[in-house]
């Protein structure tokens, strides 16, 4: 169900993000817009072989990126794992038509497995503070809020979980 994406998935990925942006806006969440993420961000994710898609019957319905890249704002967070052995999850999203089916939870579990496979001690990410659904899910899965950062769209909670 979760697989590494290739360039031939870019159109489907762009469509998925369009749907997700509309869904977020309908919930009153101004998290993603025409400025971010853009198609070239998604293409770079695929190019670096860090882009993963969730498929149901050959339809791309979810997406996440796992790598070690992070914004400079992360340097202000007191992370649990002080080593350089960690992964960061970016741009986790699920099509509004498929939300509530545990797909985000499966992506988190997939990221944790990647951590084990790559000997990364923890998984980190940030989440839009105004989105209470994602924050509750992450805490339920054992992630701790370690602080917040400010990006263009506002406040984001920073989460981390020690994997091993």
* CATH number for position 53: 3.40.630.30
Q: How many domains would you assign to the chain?
A: 1
Q: What is the pLDDT of residues 35-89, one digit of tens each?
A: 779 899 999 999 999 999 999 999 999 999 999 999 999 999 999 999 999 999 9
Domain that includes residue 23, residue range: 2-162
Q: What is the pTM of this model?
A: 0.95
Residue 52 near residue 65, CB atoms below 8 Å: yes
Other C-beta atoms within 10 Å of 33: how many? 13
* Strand pairing category for 59-67 and 86-94: antiparallel
């Amino acid at each position: 169900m979760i697989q590494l994406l290739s360039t031939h998935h870019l159109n489907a990925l762009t469509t998925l993000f369009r749907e997700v942006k509309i869904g977020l806006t309908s919930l009153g969440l101004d998290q993603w817009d025409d400025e971010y993420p853009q198609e070239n961000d998604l293409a770079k994710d695929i190019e670096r072989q860090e882009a993963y898609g969730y498929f149901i019957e050959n339809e791309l319905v979810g997406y996440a990126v796992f790598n070690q890249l992070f914004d400079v704002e992360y340097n202000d967070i007191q992370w649990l794992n002080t080593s350089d052995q960690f992964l960061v999850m970016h741009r986790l999203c699920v099509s509004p038509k498929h939300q509530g089916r545990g797909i985000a939870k499966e992506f988190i579990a997939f990221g944790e497995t990647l951590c084990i496979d790559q000997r990364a001690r923890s998984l980190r990410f940030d989440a839009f503070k105004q989105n209470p659904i994602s924050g509750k899910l992450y805490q339920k899965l054992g992630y701790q809020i370690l602080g917040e950062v400010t990006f263009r769209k506002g406040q984001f909670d920073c989460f981390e979980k020690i994997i091993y």
